[in-house]
Amino acid sequence: MLAPRYPAAVVAGNVETSQAITDCLYGALGVLAAFAGHDEQLHVRQRYLPVLRDDLGGSGAGPDFDGTSVVQTHMTNSRLTDPEVLEWRFPVRLESYAIRRGSGGAGRHRGGDGGERRVRFLEAMTAVMLANHRRVAPFGVAGGSPGALGENWVERNDGSRESFGATFKVEMRPGDVFVDADAGRRRVRRARREKRMTSCVFCRLVAGELPAAFVHRDNRVVAFMDAGQVNDGHVIVATVRHVETIYGIDDDEAAAAFRLAARMARAVKREFGAAGVSILQANEPAGFQTVPHFHMHVLPRHPGDGVGLEWPAKRPPFERLAALGERVRGHWHRRADQGFAARALSAPAAGWTRSRPARA
């Protein structure tokens, strides 16, 4: 049944692919609603090589029984590491681990609820998440409602927050908290976002509510033909996630967007015989942004095509250039110093090896 060929993804066969196949078979037969769809894993790396396996999913309901909350199904049901053991071995603190009440799908028999876990990092480390059902909810059967989507984010020690999808890598700093979302919070945030997202033309294009001539799409970025076609081959590259400006995209989205823009630029230059290609990206009305969803225009250019761009260069002396550069550098230095000071004040005096037991 499965014969993957390059570039199809084949990683995580037991923890992700097998789960999706099992859910597919149960769903096709109509005998069991979907599980959370993954053996969700958080890998952390520094001088350690641990794997923190997050057993957060709920099992699907059947024709005469409810699902089970916070459990692995289909391929495994490994035991949860004790919080005290986790904190003794690794420089993290398990701040909480709770059931995501109401996240299981509603119906005559309810699906099992997922969980919420908050892990605070006490040293700088790299975290890599491998999960599923961040964009497509676990399905119900026989008229039952789907379960809630999963969600991940990082709460930085400086008060900022970064949201992520199903698979990503993120650098964690001392004091940062890695969170798997709970359904209650997510529903509140979703209600606040829906008004923006339902009116966003690009979100509607990505969701298939409006027609679009797609050139490329994956789980992070899409490329489609601009409806205005300033010149033949005019392509728009946009994020799948609703992010209004470049200030809000994460590093993986930025890398994916600019990589795709470069590929589109090479394609339209060759295919349409362009003399050049302009990559245009705007933020906020003052920056001439008209659609509040991060995107870039890949525009083939030809002599005399009528496209103009005013560039009132001031040409200041080098001393002013150096002063301006110092202000930019100083901004990041101040943020780094403030973050370091805050983390130093919040660090436990006894060190992570003797951190208090977490309240699960």
Specify the pLDDT at position 183.
Answer: 36
CATH number of 199-301: 3.30.428.10
Tell me the per-residue pLDDT of 292-336, one tens digit each, with 9 for 90 and over: 999 999 999 999 999 988 888 889 999 999 999 888 888 766 654
Tell me the per-residue pLDDT of 66-103, one tens digit each, with 9 for 90 and over: 888 777 777 666 667 778 887 887 888 888 888 887 78
Residues 6+ apart with CB under 8 A from 219: 135, 165, 166, 167, 240
Closest-CA residue to 103 (of 136, 148, 137): 148
pLDDT confidence tier of residue 197, bands split at 50, 70 and 90: low
> Which of 13-22, 123-132, 258-267 shows the highest mean pLDDT?
258-267
Q: Name the more confident of 59 and 14.
A: 59
Q: Name the more confident of 219 and 302.
A: 302
Tell me the per-residue pLDDT of 117-156, one tens digit each, with 9 for 90 and over: 888 988 888 888 877 777 788 888 887 778 778 888 899 8
Q: Name the more confident of 315 and 14.
A: 315
Mean residue pLDDT of the chain comes to 79
Q: Is the pTM of this model over 0.85?
A: no
* Average pLDDT rounded to a whole number, residues 198-203: 81
Task: Spell out the domain ranges in the chain.
Answer: 13-194, 199-301
Specify the pLDDT at position 193.
Answer: 45
Specify the pLDDT at position 319.
Answer: 93
Specify the pLDDT at position 341.
Answer: 43
Specify the pLDDT at position 301.
Answer: 95
